[in-house]
Chains A and B, each alone.
Chain A
Protein backbone atom coordinates (compact mmCIF):
# COMPACT_ATOMS: atom_id res chain seq x y z
CA UNK A 1 0.00 0.00 0.00
CA UNK A 2 1.16 3.48 -0.72
CA UNK A 3 1.29 6.34 1.71
CA UNK A 4 2.29 10.00 1.78
CA UNK A 5 3.55 12.05 4.68
CA UNK A 6 3.94 15.81 4.75
CA UNK A 7 6.12 17.13 7.53
CA UNK A 8 4.54 20.21 9.06
CA UNK A 9 0.82 20.81 8.90
CA UNK A 10 1.48 24.55 8.92
CA UNK A 11 4.48 26.44 7.53
CA UNK A 12 4.99 30.19 7.80
CA UNK A 13 7.50 32.14 5.76
CA UNK A 14 8.16 35.81 5.18
CA UNK A 15 7.41 37.34 1.83
CA UNK A 16 10.49 36.91 -0.36
CA UNK A 17 11.84 33.98 1.66
CA UNK A 18 12.44 30.45 0.44
CA UNK A 19 9.48 28.09 0.52
CA UNK A 20 10.18 24.44 1.34
CA UNK A 21 7.30 22.01 1.78
CA UNK A 22 8.27 18.43 2.52
CA UNK A 23 6.77 15.28 1.09
CA UNK A 24 7.87 11.70 1.64
CA UNK A 25 6.15 8.70 0.17
CA UNK A 26 6.19 4.96 0.31
CA UNK A 27 5.46 2.87 -2.73
CA UNK A 28 6.23 -0.68 -3.73
CA UNK A 29 6.36 0.26 -7.40
CA UNK A 30 7.78 3.28 -9.23
CA UNK A 31 5.46 6.13 -8.39
CA UNK A 32 4.00 9.07 -10.16
CA UNK A 33 4.15 12.09 -7.84
CA UNK A 34 2.06 15.24 -7.79
CA UNK A 35 1.74 18.51 -5.93
CA UNK A 36 -1.66 20.17 -5.82
CA UNK A 37 -2.57 23.57 -4.39
CA UNK A 38 -5.92 24.51 -2.90
CA UNK A 39 -6.74 28.16 -2.43
CA UNK A 40 -9.48 29.08 0.04
CA UNK A 41 -12.91 28.09 -1.24
CA UNK A 42 -11.47 26.81 -4.51
CA UNK A 43 -10.85 23.42 -6.06
CA UNK A 44 -7.54 21.58 -6.21
CA UNK A 45 -5.17 22.74 -8.91
CA UNK A 46 -2.17 20.82 -10.19
CA UNK A 47 1.15 22.57 -9.52
CA UNK A 48 3.48 20.00 -11.02
CA UNK A 49 4.00 16.29 -11.52
CA UNK A 50 6.74 13.73 -11.90
CA UNK A 51 6.20 10.62 -13.98
CA UNK A 52 9.48 9.65 -15.63
CA UNK A 53 12.60 11.36 -16.91
CA UNK A 54 14.17 14.44 -15.38
CA UNK A 55 13.91 14.34 -11.61
CA UNK A 56 13.73 18.11 -11.20
CA UNK A 57 10.28 19.20 -12.23
CA UNK A 58 9.16 22.77 -12.77
CA UNK A 59 5.57 23.79 -12.29
CA UNK A 60 3.39 26.83 -12.33
CA UNK A 61 3.89 30.00 -10.29
CA UNK A 62 7.63 29.44 -9.92
CA UNK A 63 7.39 26.21 -7.94
CA UNK A 64 9.58 23.21 -8.54
CA UNK A 65 10.12 19.82 -6.94
CA UNK A 66 12.82 17.19 -7.08
CA UNK A 67 12.19 13.46 -7.04
CA UNK A 68 14.83 11.74 -4.92
CA UNK A 69 14.34 8.01 -5.10
CA UNK A 70 17.00 7.23 -2.49
CA UNK A 71 15.25 9.48 0.02
CA UNK A 72 11.71 8.63 -1.18
CA UNK A 73 11.07 12.36 -1.21
CA UNK A 74 9.43 14.91 -3.48
CA UNK A 75 9.87 18.22 -1.69
CA UNK A 76 8.32 21.39 -3.13
CA UNK A 77 10.32 24.60 -3.27
CA UNK A 78 10.02 28.18 -4.45
CA UNK A 79 12.93 30.62 -4.18
CA UNK A 80 10.88 33.65 -3.16
CA UNK A 81 7.47 33.51 -1.51
CA UNK A 82 4.69 35.81 -2.57
CA UNK A 83 1.61 36.72 -0.58
CA UNK A 84 -0.53 35.02 -3.20
CA UNK A 85 1.16 31.67 -2.43
CA UNK A 86 -0.76 31.37 0.81
CA UNK A 87 -2.82 28.21 0.40
CA UNK A 88 -3.02 24.52 1.29
CA UNK A 89 -0.59 22.26 -0.52
CA UNK A 90 -1.09 18.55 -1.03
CA UNK A 91 1.40 15.95 -2.16
CA UNK A 92 -0.04 12.88 -3.87
CA UNK A 93 1.25 9.60 -5.22
CA UNK A 94 -0.12 7.12 -7.70
CA UNK A 95 1.43 3.87 -8.74
CA UNK A 96 2.46 3.48 -12.35
CA UNK A 97 -0.46 1.17 -13.04
CA UNK A 98 -2.64 4.23 -12.55
CA UNK A 99 -4.13 2.98 -9.34
CA UNK A 100 -3.96 3.72 -5.65
CA UNK A 101 -4.06 7.50 -5.77
CA UNK A 102 -3.18 8.68 -2.27
CA UNK A 103 -3.04 12.25 -0.97
CA UNK A 104 -0.98 13.49 1.93
CA UNK A 105 -2.66 15.36 4.80
CA UNK A 106 -1.64 18.74 3.44
CA UNK A 107 0.51 21.66 4.54
CA UNK A 108 -0.97 25.09 5.04
CA UNK A 109 1.42 27.79 3.87
CA UNK A 110 1.17 31.26 5.38
CA UNK A 111 3.16 34.14 3.92
CA UNK A 112 3.91 36.97 6.29
CA UNK A 113 4.47 40.55 5.08
Chain B
Protein backbone atom coordinates (compact mmCIF):
# COMPACT_ATOMS: atom_id res chain seq x y z
CA UNK B 1 0.00 0.00 0.00
CA UNK B 2 0.95 3.63 -0.24
CA UNK B 3 3.34 4.96 2.34
CA UNK B 4 3.62 8.41 3.86
CA UNK B 5 4.08 11.07 1.22
CA UNK B 6 5.35 14.60 1.61
CA UNK B 7 5.22 17.51 -0.76
CA UNK B 8 7.16 19.29 -1.99
CA UNK B 9 10.33 17.19 -1.86
CA UNK B 10 12.40 20.36 -2.02
CA UNK B 11 11.51 23.94 -1.19
CA UNK B 12 13.77 26.93 -1.62
CA UNK B 13 12.55 30.21 -0.24
CA UNK B 14 13.84 33.58 0.79
CA UNK B 15 14.24 34.81 4.33
CA UNK B 16 11.02 36.28 5.61
CA UNK B 17 8.70 34.32 3.35
CA UNK B 18 5.89 31.97 4.39
CA UNK B 19 5.99 28.26 3.54
CA UNK B 20 3.65 25.32 3.85
CA UNK B 21 4.78 21.71 3.93
CA UNK B 22 2.27 18.94 3.35
CA UNK B 23 2.09 15.41 4.72
CA UNK B 24 -0.21 12.62 3.55
CA UNK B 25 -0.15 9.83 6.13
CA UNK B 26 -0.93 6.18 5.60
CA UNK B 27 -4.67 5.68 5.36
CA UNK B 28 -6.17 4.74 8.70
CA UNK B 29 -3.29 6.00 10.80
CA UNK B 30 -4.64 8.19 13.55
CA UNK B 31 -1.33 9.50 14.88
CA UNK B 32 0.80 11.88 12.84
CA UNK B 33 4.18 13.33 13.78
CA UNK B 34 6.38 16.13 12.48
CA UNK B 35 10.16 16.17 12.98
CA UNK B 36 12.99 18.39 11.84
CA UNK B 37 16.36 16.92 10.92
CA UNK B 38 19.41 19.08 10.52
CA UNK B 39 22.53 17.84 8.80
CA UNK B 40 24.37 15.27 10.87
CA UNK B 41 21.73 15.11 13.58
CA UNK B 42 18.87 12.90 14.58
CA UNK B 43 15.26 13.88 13.97
CA UNK B 44 14.01 16.48 16.42
CA UNK B 45 10.41 16.15 17.51
CA UNK B 46 8.16 19.09 16.68
CA UNK B 47 4.52 18.10 17.13
CA UNK B 48 2.17 15.18 16.98
CA UNK B 49 -1.51 14.79 16.32
CA UNK B 50 -3.96 12.22 17.57
CA UNK B 51 -6.81 12.60 15.11
CA UNK B 52 -7.46 16.25 14.44
CA UNK B 53 -6.03 17.63 17.65
CA UNK B 54 -2.45 18.47 18.46
CA UNK B 55 -1.72 16.16 21.37
CA UNK B 56 1.73 17.62 21.99
CA UNK B 57 3.22 20.69 20.32
CA UNK B 58 6.00 21.19 22.83
CA UNK B 59 8.69 20.69 20.19
CA UNK B 60 7.70 23.64 18.03
CA UNK B 61 10.63 26.05 18.36
CA UNK B 62 8.60 29.28 18.43
CA UNK B 63 5.32 30.82 17.37
CA UNK B 64 6.42 31.10 13.74
CA UNK B 65 5.72 27.39 13.45
CA UNK B 66 2.20 26.04 13.30
CA UNK B 67 0.64 22.79 12.12
CA UNK B 68 -2.89 21.69 11.37
CA UNK B 69 -4.70 18.48 10.60
CA UNK B 70 -8.29 19.61 10.08
CA UNK B 71 -9.84 16.33 8.96
CA UNK B 72 -7.61 13.93 10.82
CA UNK B 73 -5.70 12.86 7.73
CA UNK B 74 -3.52 15.29 5.76
CA UNK B 75 -1.42 17.66 7.82
CA UNK B 76 0.24 20.95 6.91
CA UNK B 77 3.23 22.43 8.70
CA UNK B 78 3.28 26.20 8.32
CA UNK B 79 6.31 28.40 8.89
CA UNK B 80 5.95 32.16 8.94
CA UNK B 81 8.74 34.71 8.41
CA UNK B 82 11.25 32.00 7.59
CA UNK B 83 14.81 32.37 8.84
CA UNK B 84 18.01 30.81 7.53
CA UNK B 85 18.14 28.67 10.66
CA UNK B 86 14.90 26.99 9.61
CA UNK B 87 16.77 25.24 6.80
CA UNK B 88 16.51 21.49 7.42
CA UNK B 89 14.73 18.37 6.29
CA UNK B 90 11.22 18.23 7.69
CA UNK B 91 10.03 14.70 8.26
CA UNK B 92 6.50 13.45 8.72
CA UNK B 93 5.56 10.09 10.18
CA UNK B 94 2.31 8.31 10.92
CA UNK B 95 1.31 5.37 13.07
CA UNK B 96 -1.83 3.37 13.76
CA UNK B 97 -2.01 5.00 17.15
CA UNK B 98 0.29 6.64 19.64
CA UNK B 99 3.14 4.37 20.64
CA UNK B 100 3.01 2.11 17.61
CA UNK B 101 5.69 1.92 14.94
CA UNK B 102 6.05 5.16 13.05
CA UNK B 103 6.30 5.08 9.27
CA UNK B 104 8.29 7.96 7.87
CA UNK B 105 7.90 9.93 4.69
CA UNK B 106 10.87 10.89 2.51
CA UNK B 107 10.93 14.41 3.94
CA UNK B 108 10.86 17.92 2.55
CA UNK B 109 14.20 19.66 2.26
CA UNK B 110 13.68 23.32 3.11
CA UNK B 111 16.35 25.83 2.19
CA UNK B 112 15.99 29.41 3.32
CA UNK B 113 18.28 31.78 1.46
Q: Which residues of A contact B (CB under 8 A)?
A: 4, 9, 32, 34, 36, 42-46, 49, 90, 92, 94, 96-99, 101-106
Contact = CB atoms under 8 A, between A and B. Distances in A.
Contacts, number: 52
Interface residues of B, number: 26
A16 B26 CA distance: 37
Identify whether the interface residues of A are mostly helix, strand, loop, or mixed.
strand
A103 B43 contact: yes
Contacts of A99: 55-56, 98
A43 B91 contact: yes
A22 to B, nearest CB: 14
A92 B37 CA distance: 14
Interface in B64-113: 91, 93, 97-107
Contact of A98 (B41, B45, B97, B107): B97
Contacts of B55: 99
B104 A45 contact: yes
Given A43-B91, A43-B104, A98 B42 contact: no
Contacts of B31: 98
Given A44-B104, A98-B31, A105-B42, 17 more contacts: A36-B104, A43-B104, A44-B43, A44-B93, A45-B104, A46-B103, A90-B43, A92-B42, A96-B99, A97-B98, A98-B99, A99-B56, A101-B48, A103-B44, A103-B45, A104-B42, A106-B42
A67 B100 CA distance: 18
A105 B41 contact: yes
| Among B4, B97, B104, B106: residue with most chain A CB under 10 A | B104
